[in-house]
Amino acid sequence: MPAHVVLGVGAGISAYKACELLRLLTESGHKVRVVPTPDALRFVGAATWAGLSGEPVSTDVWTDIALAPHVRLGQAADLVLVAPATADLLARAAAGRADDLLTATLLTATCPVAYAPAMHTEMWQHPATQANVALLRERGAVVIEPATGRLAGPDTGAGRLPDPAEIFAVATHLLSGRTLDLKGRRVLVSAGGTREELDPVRFIGNWSSGTQGYALARTAVARGAEVTVVAANVALADPAGATVIRVVSARDMQAAIASAAADADAIVMAAAVADYRPSQRQDGKMKKDGHAPGPLQLTENPDILAGLAALRGPGGQVLVGFAAETDMSLGLAQAKLARKGCDLLVVNPVGGGLGFGTADNEAVIYGADGSATEVLRGPKEALADVVWDLVAARLSEERLPG
């Protein structure tokens, strides 16, 4: 449904990326009013914002004073999205300042408010900035963790503005009306497909693109969670606001998850993990010499999800497994759920335009409590939201021994 969005733009070099974000919002039918800070116009001019949005652009509270824009913009908005949010802007918002139209709008907004920070690494990591971020989150705002990559000048590090498409996905989710039911929770998501090397050139793998795992990460961020993704061979843009740890093989993934799992309230294993690996990896490339190689000897990989279930104590994490199946029979799903020892098992069919590398998915989510939740075919974000609904419900319950 079309919404009224205020797009705040801070005075950072990445302001130019907000043009793409604005395009995504307007092409989705939303009415967008761009409110830059005065210094943001040094990077992108008012004429550009007005031309792209079809709405007037002002930076001070004195323009059209009879309409009281410093009050009306926030009151009428369905979402206030600030991208980029500089260290200065975060500080002024946290302090409740109202020294320009954008900060005044933030004070009058009763709708969801989201910030996409962008700044140099040292500024992002400074205790003052982290305290401001914590305060804004405590007040109910969504502050998206910045990406890591090339910054202004020669610098590289944490503080890069996330990809506009990823920010747009978070905005879309916030406009859906869902609450921040994962606020303060730490969640760990695995994504992609592991690869087991035969030699320096070849590997055993699968078709998983990581799309479902990244949809889970993206929706968890929008619901207020602190998200870590362990991604195996994923070529997608990092989900906005998530910390991404990159791995290759099943054993790499096991090690990464083991190091990140202790603080997680919920772990969702959406990755397609290889069940087997070659018993021996060849140091050099296997040559085609007219003779077929001998039988491939395989060794079983560790079952990461079952291992997590075996190690957790009473009141431990909510564990969710994924199973891409060609056989959707109830008996097979229940047996796998019991074998894995998880709380929820998401069983999704593959083939027929569903599964790996597609935008859509469908599934039946089985619970250890005997429940079964059917999710009809739709965007992978929709399935992700149902998963988090079920996880949030279990996190809200007191998890007692036994």
* pLDDT-above-70 percentage for the chain: 94
Question: Which residues touch 158 (CB under 8 Å, ≥6 apart)?
Answer: 121, 124, 125, 146, 147, 148
User: Is residue 355's pLDDT more than 80?
Assistant: no
The one-letter amino acid at 57: V
Exactly one of 132, 206, 233, 301 is catalytic; which is it? 206
| Size (the chain), residues | 402
Which range, of 127-141, 170-184, 212-226, 350-364, averages the lowest pLDDT? 350-364
> For the residues 92-117, what does the mean pLDDT come to?
95
> For the residues 250-264, what does the mean pLDDT come to?
94
Verify whether residue 361 is a known catalytic residue. Answer: no
User: Is residue 402's pLDDT more than 60?
Assistant: no
Which DSSP letter does residue 312 get? Answer: -
Q: Is the dihedral of CA 387, 389, 395, 399 positive or negative?
A: negative
> For the residues 249-276, what does the mean pLDDT come to?
94
Predicted local distance difference test score (pLDDT) of residue 352: 67
> For the residues 357-385, what does the mean pLDDT come to?
91
Which range, of 309-313, 318-322, 351-355, averages the lowest pLDDT? 351-355
Predicted local distance difference test score (pLDDT) of residue 62: 66
Q: Which residues, listed in sequence order, are joined to residue 12 by a DSSP beta bridge?
A: none
Quick: pLDDT tens for 125-146. Answer: 999 999 999 999 999 899 999 9
pLDDT tier at 67, thresholds 50, 70, 90: low
User: Is residue 151's pLDDT more than 90?
Assistant: no
Q: Is the dihedral of CA 165, 166, 167, 170 positive or negative?
A: positive
User: Is residue 157's pLDDT more than 90?
Assistant: no
Which DSSP letter does residue 272 get? Answer: B
Residue 310 sits at the vertex; the CA angle it makes with 239 and 268, to the nearest 5 degrees, is 15
What domains can be seen in the chain, in order of their start residue?
4-175 (3.40.50.1950), 186-396 (3.40.50.10300)
User: Is residue 400's pLDDT more than 50?
Assistant: no
pLDDT tier at 401, thresholds 50, 70, 90: very low
Residue 356 sits at the vertex; the CA angle it makes with 196 and 168, to the nearest 5 degrees, is 115
* pLDDT-above-90 percentage for the chain: 68
Which DSSP letter does residue 279 get? Answer: S
